[in-house]
Amino acid sequence: MANHSQLGFQDASSPIMEELVEFHDHALMVALAICSLVLYLLTLMLMEKLSSNTVDAQEVELIWTILPAIVLILLALPSLQILYMMDEINEPDLTLKAIGHQWYWTYEYTDFKDLTFDSYMIPTPELQQGHFRLLEVDHRVVIPMESPIRIIVTAGDVLHSWAIPTLGVKTDAIPGRLNQTSFITTRPGIFYGQCSEICGANHSYMPIVVESTPLTHFENWSSLLSS
């Protein structure tokens, strides 16, 4: 959950998000090094007198041609690795289907016989103490922690997007098309997200809440709803 005046990312709750945060820090350090070098060279040129040595400097031209290529490689390799990790889905323990509607979500646990429910935002006058405005729902998505989860995302009317920042998940919900992604929660908790695709007048009123629990708690919850 983001805090007021927070400048960085939310605390990572999945291996993918941890990799994304590390890559973000890596890219920022590279950008900081480039900006520092450019600032130093600009200051040096303003402070020093111009000389004819800068007219023909093939060594300098060679350096400023090769150096950017090396920097791009240092950024591209970890980026490609994370992209392949995000697309990889290995034998999920649970498959969840999320269907976007105007303006609520429908969830289907496809591994269970009759486990389907709609998730609506709780209006502000009905919020209980400690609940977050515009983020709390009447039915949360409950998943077992430390288990590979595959989520299949689609829409029943217009474009939507199923996104949980702290899990590093963002998948577009497109009518007539099934998109899938996977994630693993590394700790128990309640993770908040919202539809990230402008889908109409009430676009900001279809939040997403995922509750990560131990396996025994998830089994009790699923058996209670299925009965």
Please report whether residue 212 resides in a domain: yes
Please indicate, yes or no, whether residues 41 and 117 belong to a single structural domain of this protein. no
Please report whether residue 176 resides in a domain: yes
The pLDDT of 83-111, averaged and rounded, is 90
Predicted confidence at residue 164, as pLDDT, reads 94
Please report whether residue 10 resides in a domain: no
Q: Are 166 and 10 in contact (CB under 8 A)?
A: yes
Please report whether residue 4 resides in a domain: no
Which of the listed residues 87, 116, 151 is the one where a domain comes to its end?
87
Q: Which of 2-11, 82-91, 122-131 has the lowest mean pLDDT?
A: 2-11
Please indicate, yes or no, whether residues 51 and 73 belong to a single structural domain of this protein. yes
Please report whether residue 127 resides in a domain: yes
Please indicate, yes or no, whether residues 46 and 80 belong to a single structural domain of this protein. yes
For residue 176, the 8-state DSSP code is T
The pLDDT of 202-212, averaged and rounded, is 92
Mean per-residue pLDDT over the chain, rounded:
89
Predicted confidence at residue 144, as pLDDT, reads 94
Name the percent of the chain lying above pLDDT 90: 58
Please report whether residue 204 resides in a domain: yes
The number of distinct structural domains making up the chain is 2
Please indicate, yes or no, whether residues 42 and 140 belong to a single structural domain of this protein. no
Please report whether residue 98 resides in a domain: yes
Please report whether residue 209 resides in a domain: yes
Please indicate, yes or no, whether residues 167 and 65 belong to a single structural domain of this protein. no
Predicted confidence at residue 50, as pLDDT, reads 64
Amino acid (one-letter) located at 64? W
Q: What is the Cα–Cα distance from 155 to 68, expressed in whole angstroms?
A: 43
Predicted confidence at residue 48, as pLDDT, reads 75
Give the residue numbers spanning the domain of 145: 94-225
61 falls in which pLDDT band (50, 70, 90)? Answer: confident
Please indicate, yes or no, whether residues 108 and 38 belong to a single structural domain of this protein. no
Which of the listed residues 87, 117, 148 is the one where a domain comes to its end?
87
Which of the listed residues 87, 117, 135 is the one where a domain comes to its end?
87
Q: What is the Cα–Cα distance from 172 to 154, expressed in whole angstroms?
A: 8
29 falls in which pLDDT band (50, 70, 90)? Answer: very high
Long-range CB contacts for residues 186-190, cutoff 8 Å, separation at least 24: 186/12, 186/13, 186/14, 186/15, 186/145, 186/146, 187/13, 187/145, 187/212, 188/145, 188/212, 188/213, 188/214, 189/13, 190/1, 190/140
Please indicate, yes or no, whether residues 57 and 142 belong to a single structural domain of this protein. no
| CA-based nearest residue to 77, from 2, 27, 3 | 27
Predicted confidence at residue 56, as pLDDT, reads 62
Please indicate, yes or no, whether residues 62 and 135 belong to a single structural domain of this protein. no
| CA-based nearest residue to 142, from 178, 115, 103 | 115
CATH number of the domain that 77 lies in?
Answer: 1.10.287.90
227 falls in which pLDDT band (50, 70, 90)? Answer: low
For residue 48, the 8-state DSSP code is S
Beta-strand relationship, 94-101 and 149-155: parallel
Q: 0.85 exceeded by the pTM?
A: no
Please indicate, yes or no, whether residues 67 and 101 belong to a single structural domain of this protein. no
Residue 142 pLDDT exceeds 80: yes
Please indicate, yes or no, whether residues 102 and 146 belong to a single structural domain of this protein. yes
Q: What is the Cα–Cα distance from 107 to 197, expressed in whole angstroms?
A: 18
Q: Tens digit of pLDDT for each residue in 179-205?
A: 999 999 999 999 999 999 898 888 889
